[in-house]
Structure 1
Amino acid sequence: MPKTVILHLTGEDPLLADIDQEPQPGDLFIKVTNMRKRDGKPVPYLAAGVQAVIFPWHRITFIELMPSEEERSQVIDFFRQ
């Protein structure tokens, strides 16, 4: 099942994407699918119909792994009143 990530590329706004598995320390690149802006709009520099994009690690500043709905239900959020 794909996992949603926030991909921070060097010199660009963060993007949402899906990955099939978490990156491993020995990986040279990351393959993402369903790339979109954080507001859900398409990424303007991708051609129509692109299914996957492969990024080398030197283009990536960092990646935020978002919890799935199942994982989110198990996490206790703290809040202030």
Structure 2
Amino acid sequence: MAITVLIHITNADPVMAEIEEMPSPTDSFLLFTNPRARDGKPIHNFDPEAIRFIIPWHRITFVEAYPSEEDQTEIETFFRD
């Protein structure tokens, strides 16, 4: 199952992408697929025919992970009539 992440690259716009698993502390790069801008538009820096992308950790400021559909649970709200 893919995890949607927002990758903040040093001196560049953030990249929305999918990763297969959370990176381990010993990894020296981040492997991801389906890069796009926050609004879903393609990024001109990446070749659209490429399948996987690798960015070394020293170029990444931080990574935000978004909850998957399985992680989100339906919240029951109670309304007073």
What TM-score do the two structures reach when normalised by structure 2? Answer: 0.87
Cα distance in 2 for residues equivalent to 1:8 and 1:32: 13
Structure 2 unmatched ranges of 5 or more:
77-81
Q: Deviations over 1:4-51 (max 9, x none)?
A: 000000011111000000010000111000000001011101112111
Runs of 4+ in 1 over 2 A off after TM superposition: none
Identify which range, 45-54 or 19-28, moves more after superposition: 45-54
Structure with higher Rg: it is 2
Identity of aligned residues (%): 45
For residue 48 of structure 2, what is the aligned residue in structure 1?
48
Residue correspondence of structure 1 range 16-31 to structure 2 within 5 A: 16-31=16-31
For residue 35 of structure 2, what is the aligned residue in structure 1?
35
**What value does the CA root-mean-square deviation take over the aligned residues?**
1.6
Residue 73 of structure 1 pairs with residue 73 of structure 2: yes
Aligned residues: 76
